[in-house]
Structure 1
Amino acid sequence: MTHAGLLSGLAPSPKLDGVAQPLFELFQPARSRRTAQGRLYEGNGQPVIVFPRQGTGPESTAPLHRTLQQAGFRPFDWGYGVNHGPRGMGLSRWLRKLEDCVIDAFEATQAPVTLLGWGLSGIYARELAKRANPLVRQVITLGTPFNTAADPQRRCRVLALLDSGPDRMPLSMRTGLRQRPPVPVTSIYSKNDTVVRWEQCVETETAESENIELSGVRHEGLAMHPRALEVITHRLAQPEGRWRPFAAAGRA
């Protein structure tokens, strides 16, 4: 069966609903510890794919990867080196390739996967969650300009990487970028980003979506900011199926 067939034919199972998680995870609050930089929450092997920001590769996410691993999570690299965007392939074909990352991480862990995207790769994370949502637990983005309504003139340099090639991204697809994935989403952003406008990173808040602002942080510093690490690790450490907004989650 092809990967596309696998995804289209897969229905949620008890395993995806958290039954396979150790029972103590479902009833115990997230453990945390303080470091010199701030608070980190501890994991129990929860998988997360860490996608690099535009123009960079694994070297840009290596510190975050190490931090998550040391905190007890299971981070995966996206496997495609430097993130140059689809490069004329078109977003749909590019996402079909990236579905393999999600399938591989799920098969390796037999657990729904968190997708963590930075800048342009946050678009990948959100769109992959729409395509492969039975395999995806949640999406976390860092400075990702998915709200295309805040960029009607198409001036965003990051989104321009999706318009490469002979044809520009169709308006319907561009509009679809701002539609929320069918899984919990956390958008972390800064008004001092300098690469993307913060208004483009704001999601409509619901019971399964939230926006968290970091003060005074530039785009390239988002992934390792102490507040971002606290939010990311807390989101990852939540018991399966019990997602709550960060501000309401009763952090200990």
Structure 2
Amino acid sequence: MSQAGWLSSLSPAPVLDGLAPPVRGLFQSPQPRRTPRRRLHEGHGQPVLLFPREGTGPESTAPLHRTLQQAGFRPLDWGFGVDQGPRGMGLARWLRKLEDCVIDAFEASQAPVTLLGWGLSGIYARELAKRANPLVRQVITLGTPFNTAADPQRRCRVFALLEAGPERLPLSVRTRLRQRPPVPFTSIYSRHDGVVRWEQCVETETAESENIEVPGARHEELAMHPRALEAITHRLAQPEGRWRPFEGAGLPLS
């Protein structure tokens, strides 16, 4: 065999092609794909569990579901229909119930799962990552008011859905909710949200946590905003164990 042929035989491409999609994705860096209005990064079957916006069900995440699926990821629905908060069940019992979603998603994909929550359900995603840490790869939230310190008068109507039961959440629980989950975390927010104050959506930035502002987007528009989609797909496409902050966006978006 010639030297060129021998080198060709060592090319990683045939080896990677033989791996299952989630495993193959561990070795590849995010690759951008242009569309008319945005830049997406391509996936290799990485699973992502989608939680709907408060007061809505899977119809709110359906466009995002299709976009992620077309980009090569594996989006999964949370399976509980319309999100109306824990209601009389209480937050602790509600989260225990939702843990089954994470377990099922992990077992179906045989890979750690990204949790993506929108508004109120982003709080579920953060808390579930604390409870089921080994099964969760990262958390992404869209317009989620987890920073209770930025709402001392308890005026946030989204967060109020957590307190719809017989008692308000004690201060200890509200304090716990603003503690960062023990996995990489990305908060996507807008100063023009119109439903939650943007200050409530800001996390302390560390080596594994970041905030990404989406200019001009309303709360109900966050999931399909071009900048949000680029950031979400880049987060999902990163190689396992090599999370890095999103540095912005490369080319300007129009």
**Same-fold call, TM cutoff 0.5:** yes
Deviations along 1:190-234, one digit per CA (max 9) or x if unpaired, are: 000010000000000000000000111100000000110000000
Could you tell me which residue of structure 2 aligns to residue 105 of structure 1? 105
Cα distance between partner residues in 2 of 1:30 and 1:192: 29
Decide whether aligned partners of structure 1 residues 44 and 22 sit closer, same or farther in structure 2, where only a CA change above 3 A counts.
closer
Equivalent AA in structure 1 for residue 113 of structure 2: V
Could you tell me which residue of structure 2 aligns to residue 28 of structure 1? 28
Cα distance between partner residues in 1 of 2:176 and 2:23: 38
Cα distance between partner residues in 2 of 1:77 and 1:94: 17
Could you tell me which residue of structure 1 aligns to residue 127 of structure 2? 127
Equivalent AA in structure 2 for residue 57 of structure 1: G
Could you tell me which residue of structure 2 aligns to residue 209 of structure 1? 209
1:137 and 2:137 matched: yes
Cα distance between partner residues in 2 of 1:96 and 1:188: 26
Decide whether aligned partners of structure 1 residues 91 and 33 sit closer, same or farther in structure 2, where only a CA change above 3 A counts.
same
C-alpha displacement of 1:26: 3.9
Cα distance between partner residues in 2 of 1:156 and 1:145: 8
Could you tell me which residue of structure 2 aligns to residue 150 of structure 1? 150
Equivalent AA in structure 2 for residue 76 of structure 1: L
Identity %: 82
Could you tell me which residue of structure 2 aligns to residue 171 of structure 1? 171
| SS in structure 1 at match of 2:89 | coil
Cα distance between partner residues in 1 of 2:101 and 2:107: 10
Q: Which has the higher helix share?
A: 2
| SS in structure 1 at match of 2:223 | coil
CA RMSD of aligned residues (A): 1.8
Structure 2 spans left out of the alignment, 5+ residues: 1-19
Q: Are the equivalent residues in 2 in contact too, given 1:90–1:169 (CA < 8 A)? A: no
| SS in structure 1 at match of 2:64 | helix
4+ runs of 1 displaced by more than 6 Å? 20-23, 248-251
Deviates more, 1:240-249 or 1:84-93: 240-249
Could you tell me which residue of structure 1 aligns to residue 195 of structure 2? 195
Q: Are the equivalent residues in 2 in contact too, given 1:193–1:218 (CA < 8 A)? A: yes
C-alpha displacement of 1:27: 4.0
Could you tell me which residue of structure 1 aligns to residue 236 of structure 2? 236
Could you tell me which residue of structure 1 aligns to residue 161 of structure 2? 161
Cα distance between partner residues in 2 of 1:81 and 1:24: 32
TM-score (norm 1): 0.89
Equivalent AA in structure 1 for residue 188 of structure 2: I
